[in-house]
Amino acid sequence: MLSRRDLLCSAAAASVAMPAISSGAFAQQDWPSRDIHSICGFPPGSGADVFVRFYGNALSAKLGNKTIITENKVGAFGNIATEFVARSKPDGYTLYIAPGSSFLAAAASLFKKLPFDPVNDFEHVTTLSKLPFILIVNGDSPYKNVADLVKFLKEKGDKASYASVANTGLVSSELFKANFGLSTVEVKYKEPGSMLNDLWGNNVAFAHLDPVTAMAHLKTGKIRALATSSRDRFKALPDIPSAGEQGITNSNLIAWWSVHMPKGTPKPILDKLEKDFNEIAVAEETVKFLANLGSDPFPGNSQVLKDTLNADIKAWGEYIKIAKIEQV
């Protein structure tokens, strides 16, 4: 069971219809007339912060170099930033570029009570990008593929262990275990550095790691990638087989980033942002940026994002049962 420490978000309508239309028309013509605040749930200088700022800078260029200020609101596994956005004025000047798969979809299952409704407290603009987790082993290990690793783990039973450092990695590993009927024991870590040291020391057999952290070590050969956590192969990771290709048929775990705004933000603003962000998502500069992070573009629209969010909320309800994650 994961502890708290380990865990890581009518008649009345008719009477306001005309003012709402007027407000939207005004917003469409004059927005933005001042700085936009982009809320980031990660510390300054972190990989995720760089990600948020990249998209913010790209949007600034789309808007005629209007100023977009990144505000870092860190803590509570993203809940502080997410709640701030939910409670912000819906005037088009509060933007949320976030890992919706965790801050919204997973949060619905990881917490007993949230200070926001992941579905109904936001305007869901569009998806941006997606990435899988990667099944890794020591680069010097004898395991060249999933079959080799599974054979070893079945022989060792509960004498073998795996490492976990994040909920998504934990779930990916537990799905992997369930798929092959393994009894490998979990070892929890607070950060990737100590986890990797134990992997290199052969104290743990495998782990699932995000590609942003894994990429540099994959290039040096210090770790070996056996599969992703996704059903299909990623374009940004062409040399790594998918879970489906390696016989891990129960896994299609993908992390995705998306754009959200406070509920009630005028539709003309939402429509413009949807268009601009989808152009940014597939731009050549973006594709190159994402490739270095092991991510693929994931352009969409408001409906795609809503469908993805609802599907993942349902999926995470099952994931926490499989991985025996304790709600907080």
Classify residue 146 as left (phi > 0), alpha (psi -120 to 50) or beta.
alpha
73 is a domain residue: yes
In which band, very low, low, confident or very high, does the pLDDT at 46 lie, cut at 50, 70 and 90?
confident
Q: Collapsing DSSP states into helix, strand and coil, what is residue 220? A: helix
**Per-residue confidence (pLDDT) for residue 19, from 0 to 100:** 37
Lowest mean pLDDT among 25-29, 139-143, 179-183, 230-234: 25-29
Q: What is the pLDDT of residues 170-192, one digit of tens each?
A: 999 999 999 999 999 999 998 89
Residue 29 has pLDDT above 70, yes or no: no
Range of the domain at 312: 11-132+254-322
Same domain as 230, residue 86: no
In a domain, 22, yes or no: yes
CB atoms within 10 A of CB 4: 8
pLDDT, averaged across the chain? 91
231 in any annotated domain: yes
What are the φ/ψ torsions at residue 242 (nearest 5 degrees)?
A: -80, 165
Question: Read out DSSP for 250-304?
Answer: T---EEEEEEEEETT--HHHHHHHHHHHHHHHTSHHHHHHHHTTT-EE----HHH
List Cβ neighbours of 138 (8 Å cut-off, separation of 6 or more): 199, 200, 202, 222, 223, 224
Question: Among the three residues 192, 218, 246, which one is the final residue of a domain in this structure?
Answer: 246
* 242 located within any domain: yes
- CA 275-278-283 angle, to 5 degrees, is 125
Q: What is the pTM of this model?
A: 0.85
Answer yes or no: do 240 and 289 share one domain.
Answer: no
Average pLDDT over residues 92-101: 97
CATH code at 200? 3.40.190.10
Query: Given this model, what pLDDT does residue 11 score?
Result: 31
Give the mean model confidence (pLDDT) for residues 38-45. Answer: 94
Residue 99 tokens read as 């890992």
Q: What is the 3-state secondary structure (H, E, C) of 104-144?
A: HHHHHHHCCCCCCCCCCCEEEEEEEEEEECEEEEECCCCCC
Q: Are 185 and 274 within one domain?
A: no
Q: What are the pLDDT digits (tens) for 239-257?
A: 999 999 999 999 999 999 9
Task: Tell me the Cα Rg of the chain.
Answer: 21
What pLDDT sits at residue 5?
Answer: 41
pLDDT tens column, 283-302: 999 999 999 999 999 999 99
Instruction: Say whether both 141 and 220 belong to one domain.
Output: yes
Q: Domain count of the chain?
A: 2
Answer yes or no: is 289 within a domain.
Answer: yes
**For 20-24, 43-47, 187-191, 217-221, which range has the lowest pLDDT when averaged over its residues?**
20-24
Higher pLDDT, 27 or 191: 191
Domain boundary among 203, 218, 246: 246
151 with 240, same domain: the answer is yes
Please say if the pLDDT value at position 58 is more than 90.
Answer: yes
Spatial CB neighbours of 89, under 8 Å, sequence gap ≥ 6:
262
Does 84 have pLDDT greater than 90?
A: yes
Query: Which pLDDT value is given to residue 28?
Result: 54
